[in-house]
Structure formats: C-alpha cells, structure tokens
C-alpha cells in the first residue's frame, strides 16, 4: 500500500497547535489527537470583539476590522456624546480628543482610516445639523458645513472625497446628494430615485451603493441604488426590508446587517455586485443603529440599540471564502 508521502511527496506534519496553512494542507495535531485540514468557509460568521468603553447608538465609524474609529452617538437614546474610541482588533481605547459637536445619527466616510476620518450631519443639541469634522489621528477639526442640514443620512467615501445622501431634514426626508472634495460641500444635481432616511451605504465617492431605509410614507425599504459618481441607478433589492441598519464594503462587495424590520434584527446580507444573498449566520446580538467599519470580508459592528438598552457590544464578521480549520472525520 502506498503511503501519503509516496503519493504526495511529503509527510503529514505532526504539530502541537494548528498552524496558519494554505487551503488543502493537512496536518496532525498531537494535542487534540486529530487530523486537521485547512479549507475555505462557505458562509460568513460573526464573532465577539471587545466592548466599547461608552455604550451608544448611531455612532460614526471609519477604518478596518483591526484598526477602526468610533465617534459621537447617543449613550441613552436622547443624550449625546462626543467621545472618540480607537479599536486595535482586540479592544477599544478612549481618545482624549473629542468631537467639537456632540451628536447622534451622524454620517461618516466609512472607507476612511483610523487616522484620517470624516464625520458629518447628525442631530446635535440644537436640532438637525450641518456640522462636518475631519480627524487626523489625534484631533478633530471643524470643516465647512453641509448645504442641507440632515440626520440619519447615508455617508461613504474617504476623508478627502465623500458623499452624503438622503436623510431626515427639518421639512421631512430628502433625496439630495452632496459631494465633499476635501475643502467644501457641493449639492449635486443628481438625486436618489427613492427618497429615504435611516439608510446605509458602502463604497467611494465615485462608486457607491445605498440600501435600506425608511421612505416618505410608512414602511421599510429593500431598495438598493448604485452610484457611479454622476447618477443613481436602481439595482436588485435586499431580501429583508429594514431601516437603521449598518453597512460597509464597496460598490460590488457590500455587507448589510442589523436594523429594524420593525423588530430589532441581526440579519446579515451580502452584495456581489448584482444581487443580495442572505447569510445563514446572523449577528449574535440583533440591534438597530450600529456603528460600522471594514469590508465585506472583514467587517466590524459596534454599539447600537438592542431593543432594551444602548449597547457596547462589538462583533467581527468574517466573510465567505476565508480560511478555516476543520477536523478530519470519517463522516
């Protein structure tokens, strides 16, 4: 009988702990007395991360799963915070620097980084706001304001190139889009096809996606629109209608999670550039108005309202196609 080495040209490694391995690599773990195999995941999974120091909903977010920024939000549902926290992949650290305008329901350029972020719009003490602020890694600086005061709007892009779209305005809900060039905000002639607030988005100033939200009348939306830098185009809808959801990623690889259906949900969906797919694994803690950062493959959800209280919980999403270790069995 041929041995494994004779067939494949090398022997199975005998190790005390599971290594970081390429897909298809096999080894024997002598601590757990089991053969192990490196494979690729077929569905996305959520795992617990470190809690925020300040529980809050509707915080702004920027950065990656292992280097993220959380700012502003509401610790009690009506109160406001200007607190800023930094995530290192394990735990959050409160920065001594706070935003100049405390607010809830803030929008942000979610593709920014932990050291270069932009937060704008929201609901400060004086009502729906136009304030915009830039973060340089150590402090917040006021920038020129939005043209249209709004809260619960969508926001995407980076610190120097972002857009804001939709949201509640003093007179109701808007479909207006504004663009940020690093120096000023400009109202664009292009408007969204579906007027809405409480939506989320992903991508960049020239290639983005908007999804979910609340329309001008009662109800919850599945509507999705794609942005090409000039105009909005309706594309395939989400599977679960919802508002106050989290989202991150790009125009072609987006992630939507949480929100209100109207029940608080942890449902998660993945966008592949053409259609949405419901992920079998939902968030461990369903919540609305979570903060978000990262990509479809490695996302971060933090804070939110779980239906009873404001949350400090952080969850990390690992998308399908990631490397996983499986135990080899006879079944």
In tens, the pLDDT along 30-64 reads 887 776 666 556 789 999 999 999 999 999 999 99
One domain, residues 126 and 30: no
Predicted structure pTM score: 0.87
Please give the residue range of the domain that contains residue 23.
Answer: 4-40
- Each residue's pLDDT, cut to its tens digit, for the chain (331 residues) gives 555 455 555 567 877 877 766 566 777 788 877 766 665 567 899 999 999 999 999 999 999 999 999 999 999 978 999 999 999 999 999 999 999 999 999 999 999 999 999 999 999 988 899 999 999 999 999 999 999 999 999 999 999 999 999 999 999 999 999 999 999 999 999 999 999 999 999 999 999 999 999 999 889 999 999 999 999 999 999 999 999 999 999 999 999 999 999 999 999 999 999 999 999 999 999 999 999 999 999 999 999 999 999 999 999 999 987 666 667 776 5
What pLDDT, on a 0 to 100 scale, did the predictor assign at position 208? Answer: 98
Domain assignment of residue 330, yes or no? no
Tell whether 12 and 77 lie within a shared domain: no
Same domain, yes or no, for 26 and 169? no
**17 and 101: one domain?**
no
- Total structural domains within the chain: 2
Alpha-carbon gap, residue 141 to 252, rounded angstroms:
32
* Residue in 248, 68, 81 with CA at minimum distance from that of residue 156: 248
d(CA 53, CA 186): 36
Same domain, 263 and 149: yes
**By CB neighbour count within 10 A (0-12 exposed, 13-18 middle, 19+ buried), where does 115 fall?**
middle
> Which of 147, 71, 159 has the alpha carbon at shortest distance from 118?
159
Instruction: Quickly list H helices, 22-149.
Output: none
Nearest to 303 by CA among 43, 45, 136, 84: 84
Residue 125: burial class (beta carbons within 10 Å; 0-12, 13-18, 19+): exposed
What's the first-to-final CA gap in the chain, in angstroms? Answer: 23
d(CA 56, CA 81): 8
* Same domain membership, residue 182 and residue 240: yes
* Residue 275 half-sphere exposure toward CB, CA atoms < 13 A: 4
Examine the domain organization and report whether 35 and 105 are in the same domain: no
Q: Is residue 26 domain-shared with residue 57, that is, in the same domain?
A: no
- C-alpha angle 298/302/307, rounded to 5°? 130
Residue 139 in domain: yes
Q: Say which CATH number the domain at 253 has.
A: 2.120.10.80
In a domain, residue 323? The reply is: no
Instruction: Specify whether 29 is located in the same domain as 51.
Output: no
Domain assignment present for 327: no
Give the containing element (helix H, strand E) for 330. none
| 328 is a domain residue | no
Token pair, residue 129, equals: 């706001």
The β-bridge relationship of strands 26-29 and 13-15 is: parallel
Virtual CA dihedral for 260, 261, 263, 265, nearest 10 degrees?
-70
> Within a domain: residue 110?
yes
- Nearest of 315, 328, 232 to residue 268 by alpha carbon: 315
CA 72, 73, 75, 80 dihedral sign is positive
């Amino acid at each position: 009988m041929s041995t494994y080495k004779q067939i494949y040209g090398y022997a199975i490694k005998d190790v005390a702990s599971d290594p970081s391995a390429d897909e298809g690599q096999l080894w024997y773990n002598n601590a757990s007395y089991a053969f192990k195999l490196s494979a690729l995941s077929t569905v996305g999974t959520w795992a617990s991360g470190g809690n925020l120091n300040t529980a809050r909903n509707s915080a702004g977010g920027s950065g990656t799963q292992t280097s993220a920024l959380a700012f502003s939000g509401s610790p009690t549902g009506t109160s406001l915070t200007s607190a800023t926290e930094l995530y290192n992949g394990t735990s959050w650290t409160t920065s001594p620097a706070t935003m100049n305008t405390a607010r809830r329901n803030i929008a942000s350029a979610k593709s920014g980084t932990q050291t270069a972020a932009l937060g704008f719009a929201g609901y400060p003490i004086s009502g729906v706001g136009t304030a915009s602020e830039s973060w340089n890694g150590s402090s917040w600086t006021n920038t020129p304001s939005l043209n249209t005061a709004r809260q619960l709007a969508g926001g995407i892009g980076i610190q120097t190139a972002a857009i804001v779209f939709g949201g509640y305005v003093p007179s109701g809900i808007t479909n207006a889009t504004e663009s940020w060039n690093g120096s000023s905000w400009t109202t664009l002639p292009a408007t969204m096809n579906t007027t809405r607030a409480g939506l989320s988005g992903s991508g960049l100033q020239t290639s983005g996606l908007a999804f979910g939200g609340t329309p001008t009348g009662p109800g919850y939306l599945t509507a999705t629109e794609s942005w090409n830098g000039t105009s909005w185009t309706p594309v395939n809808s989400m599977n679960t209608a919802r508002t106050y959801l989290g989202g991150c990623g790009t125009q072609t690889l987006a992630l939507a999670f949480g929100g209100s259906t109207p029940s608080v949900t942890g449902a998660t969906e993945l966008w592949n550039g053409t259609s949405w797919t419901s992920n079998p694994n939902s968030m461990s803690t369903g919540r609305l108005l979570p903060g978000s950062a990262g990509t479809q493959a490695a996302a971060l959800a933090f804070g939110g309202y779980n239906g009873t209280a404001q949350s400090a919980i952080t969850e990390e999403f690992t998308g399908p196609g990631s490397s996983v270790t499986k135990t080899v069995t006879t079944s």
